[in-house]
């Protein structure tokens, strides 16, 4: 099976109080697991069952006959990517290549943070906010539901999950406060720099 549920790269309580162990129990243990399980059921016995998740996403994007496959594989991939972009004691201004690229794109870190928070707050309904590389340019993009920059030919560098299951147990309807805390305390800039250099 090409789709798997990764172990979290931190202890379940390591992200508290921004993201509690209870939220991770549901988010990783139930939601992410369900996407993985459903994806594997849907691709079993098809020509996609040996393909890499990124390839499955690109092959099924926009194909209404394969919406279920796209949604579940994309959500499994999005979540696996999301866990890598956060860490205990993260957040705050980055260093390294991404810091230079952010300055080039937004002028300074504060303007980047404002753009990221605005995108996350204004994403209507469920979805994701991404920092992506589009060729040499860095951009902030939003995707609804299971959509992903992988389907659009963009290179994801970082994502923030703004589905309610990512924050509601801890923050209720205060998505903006969750975004501020996420940016200030959780972003794994080392991961972003590695992605940028890959």
pLDDT in tens, 163-198: 999 999 999 999 999 999 999 999 999 999 999 985
Output the average pLDDT for the chain.
96
Range of the domain at 176: 97-197
Residue 125 backbone phi and psi in degrees, to 5: 70, -150
Cis omega (within 30 of 0) on the bond before 153?
Answer: no
Indicate the DSSP class of residue 129. Answer: E
137 shares a domain with 67: no
Please state the length of the chain: 198
Please state the domain count of the chain: 2
Would you say residue 89 lies in a domain?
A: no
Task: Assign residue 53 a region (left: φ > 0; alpha: ψ between -120 and 50; beta: otherwise).
Answer: alpha
Neighbours of 198 (CB within 10 A): 8
Domain edge (last residue) among 84, 106, 129? 84
pLDDT tens profile 44-89? 999 999 999 999 999 999 999 999 999 999 999 999 999 999 999 9
137 shares a domain with 77: no
- Reference 121, options 173, 72, 86; nearest CA is 173
Domain edge (last residue) among 84, 114, 134? 84
C-alpha to C-alpha distance for 27 and 170, rounded to whole angstroms: 12
Spell out the residues 6+ positions from residue 5 whose beta carbon is closer than 8 angstroms to its own. Answer: 28, 32, 33, 36, 76
101 shares a domain with 63: no
Whether the CB-CB separation of 69 and 35 falls below 8 Å is answered with no
C-alpha to C-alpha distance for 25 and 183, rounded to whole angstroms: 22
Whether the CB-CB separation of 105 and 115 falls below 8 Å is answered with no
Q: At what angle do helices 175-185 and 109-122 cross, to 10 degrees?
A: 140
191 shares a domain with 146: yes
Would you say residue 103 lies in a domain?
A: yes
115 shares a domain with 77: no
**What CATH number does residue 183 fall under?**
3.55.40.20
User: Quick one: pLDDT at residue 2?
Assistant: 79
Whether the CB-CB separation of 120 and 126 falls below 8 Å is answered with no
The whole-model pTM stands at 0.95
* pLDDT (average), residues 111-135: 96
150 shares a domain with 102: yes
């Amino acid at each position: 099976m090409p789709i798997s549920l990764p172990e979290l790269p931190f202890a379940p309580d390591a992200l508290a109080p921004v993201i509690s162990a209870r939220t991770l129990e549901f988010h990783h243990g139930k939601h992410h697991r369900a996407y993985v399980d459903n994806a594997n059921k849907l691709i079993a016995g098809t020509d996609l069952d040996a393909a890499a998740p990124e390839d499955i996403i690109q092959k099924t994007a926009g194909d209404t006959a394969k919406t279920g496959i796209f949604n579940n594989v994309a959500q499994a991939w999005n979540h696996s990517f999301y866990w890598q972009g956060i860490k205990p004691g993260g957040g705050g201004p980055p260093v390294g290549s991404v810091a230079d690229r952010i300055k080039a794109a937004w002028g300074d870190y504060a303007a980047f943070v404002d753009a990221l928070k605005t995108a996350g707050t204004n994403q209507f309904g469920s979805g994701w906010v991404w920092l992506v590389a589009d060729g040499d340019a860095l951009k902030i993009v939003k995707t609804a539901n299971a959509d992903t920059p992988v389907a659009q030919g963009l290179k994801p560098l970082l994502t923030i999950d703004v589905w309610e299951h990512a924050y509601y147990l801890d923050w209720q309807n205060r998505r903006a406060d969750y975004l501020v805390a996420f940016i200030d305390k959780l972003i794994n800039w080392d991961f972003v720099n590695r992605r940028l250099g890959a």
